[in-house]
């Protein structure tokens, strides 16, 4: 793991801790809106590299509204999330209909713009939803620690012992050994979090939840790798030294956060 990558993490972790743990949820919501907007911008940029012309500004505005709705429902309140989902789909299509662009490529433009709203902004919003519920900051820190442990464990174990490719056509460097190392690291951190953060969970629950979130996060990582490989780029962006872009840093979290949110709702 490069020195730049480590230093970037050391700089970002205290900032995130202050925003999540010490400040009111509105501050984290603002941070999530900004991060989601940058993630959408990266996704749209990758699409442009393939000749697709998404409606970047409209997609980011609509995505921001989706994230804010997780913090505080916006008017009109009737219909809830379904209203804003419907609005986003209709708005993207209508904006493309009356744009000055050629008819050719409209399907791809609409599809990518909509994907940016729901793949990036909607999934980002679940972190806001976790923070807003009950002991939310404890669970959100739990999620971050488990996913970071998974990434770190997978990197070091995969580098040292990786022999069998996990999914070579999508991510040639990932190995089954790395996956197992990431899951094991997540289980250990989940047990520590059971003691420090969420004592209400049982030991078995903590272990299973840590392993499952690590596995789901790996799928999220592979999905972003699929998108990058399709676009012909190595990183989604260059915002974070040593990590790439926002999507490169948050790809696992995009998939793990909804899983944890609905688990907590059903628990």
pLDDT tens profile 187-218: 999 999 999 999 999 999 999 999 999 999 99
Residue 210 makes CB contacts below 8 A (sequence gap 6+) with 146, 183, 186, 187, 188, 189, 190, 191
Cα three-residue angle 183-190-239, rounded to 5 degrees? 70
What angle (nearest 5°) sits at the alpha carbon of residue 87, between those of residues 67 and 70? 20
pTM here is 0.91
Give pLDDT tens digits for 54-111: 999 999 999 999 999 999 888 777 666 788 889 999 999 999 999 989 999 999 999 9
CB 193 within 8 A of CB 145: yes
Domain boundaries, the chain: 3-266
Point out the least confidently predicted range of 27-41, 78-92, 120-134, 160-174.
78-92
In the numeric block, the tokens 């049982």 are attached to: 202
CB-based contacts of 229: which residues, under 8 Å, 6+ apart?
A: 170
Would you say residue 242 has pLDDT above 60?
no
Q: Distance between CA 141 and CA 245 in Å, rounded?
A: 21
């Amino acid at each position: 793991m490069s020195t730049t990558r480590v230093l970037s993490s050391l700089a970002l972790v205290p900032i995130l801790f202050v925003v999540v743990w010490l400040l009111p949820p509105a501050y984290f919501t603002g941070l999530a809106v900004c991060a989601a907007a940058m993630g959408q911008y990266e996704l749209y940029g990758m699409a442009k590299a393939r000749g697709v012309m998404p409606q970047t500004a409209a997609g980011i505005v609509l995505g921001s509204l989706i994230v804010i709705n997780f913090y505080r429902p916006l008017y009109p309140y009737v219909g809830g999330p379904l209203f804003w989902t419907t609005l986003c789909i209709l708005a993207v299509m209508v904006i493309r209909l009356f744009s000055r662009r050629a008819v050719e490529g409209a399907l791809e433009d609409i599809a990518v713009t909509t994907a940016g709203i729901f793949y990036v902004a909607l999934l980002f919003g679940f972190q806001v939803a976790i923070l807003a519920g009950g002991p939310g900051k404890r669970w959100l820190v739990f999620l971050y620690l488990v996913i970071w442990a998974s990434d770190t464990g997978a990197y070091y174990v995969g580098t040292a012992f990786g022999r069998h490719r996990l999914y070579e056509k999508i991510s040639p460097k990932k190995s089954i050994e790395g996956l197992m190392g990431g899951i094991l690291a997540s289980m250990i951190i989940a047990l520590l979090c059971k003691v420090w953060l969420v004592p209400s969970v049982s030991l078995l629950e903590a272990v299973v939840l840590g392993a499952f979130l690590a596995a789901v996060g790996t799928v999220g990582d592979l999905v972003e790798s699929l998108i990058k490989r399709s676009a012909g780029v190595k990183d989604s962006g260059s915002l974070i030294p040593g990590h790439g872009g926002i999507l490169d840093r948050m790809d696992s979290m995009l998939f793990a956060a909804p899983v944890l949110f609905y688990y907590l709702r059903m628990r």
